[in-house]
Amino acid sequence: MTGVTLVNSLSGLLIITSLLVIEVKQPRWSALLYSVQSIILVIIFIVLGYIHQADQLYLWAATAFLTKVVLVPLILYRAMSRVPDEEMPKNTMGPTLTLVMAAIALAVSFIVINQLQLKAAEPFKPALAVSLAHFFFGELCIMTQRNLFKQLLGFCLMENGSALTLALLAYSAPELVEIGLVTDAVFGVVIMVLLGNQIYKNLHTLDTAKLNTLRG
């Protein structure tokens, strides 16, 4: 299996893990599945680093491992562990409809990416389409989940999509850029978890359907 085929195949696995993150009933399991997805992302970075002979991608793989595989899932898992399972809000949309919408998002992404002329990334167009689709998967997660920590996971899925796009299209970016993105992603998760904890402590709910007093 060539490196290009491996990258495109692993991107397919990203789709499966994203759908599992969205649909799994236990929110703590979502955090663990996000960690699994991030491991796949790290492997993709390493393979791309080997293909392009780009040392930066090995560094990105290391930072992605520390932040996306370990740190972020740990923060989320601990935040969700403080809330009893029976208080966790349920999804608003069934798995069938979620799958249909995800399929539409993926199809649209493939159509859009096919229009672009990207010399360096031509062989990786399937992976690129998957990275774009992750934006829509993340939005799907945010729209269909009432648990505000799972909405946060939607944001994390979008971040993974951005990271994959950056690795496919712009792996030669200065290291400070990747560090800036990763730091921002971690800070984003930390701040949203802090806000989520404050909401749970003061309002005794994680259900975003109950956060609807402000209208008009």
List of residues contacting another protein (CB under 8 A): 112, 115-121, 132, 135, 138-139, 142, 148, 151, 154-155, 158-159, 161-162, 165-166, 169-170, 172-174, 177, 180-181, 183-184, 187-188, 191-192, 194-196, 198-199, 202-203, 208, 211-214, 216
In whole angstroms, give the CA distance from residue 180 to residue 108: 30
Is residue 116 helix, strand or coil? Answer: coil
Smallest distance, another protein to C-beta of residue 189, A? 10
Chain-centroid distance, C-alpha 27: 15
CB of 211 to another protein, least distance (A): 4
Rounded to 10 degrees, the C-alpha dihedral 30/141/79/65 comes to: 60
The tokens for 150 are: 């799972």
**What is the closest distance, in whole angstroms, from the C-beta atom of residue 1 to another protein in the complex?**
26
For the CB of residue 166, give the shortest distance to another protein in the complex, in Å. Answer: 5
**142: which residues sit within 8 A by CB, 6+ positions away?**
151, 154, 155
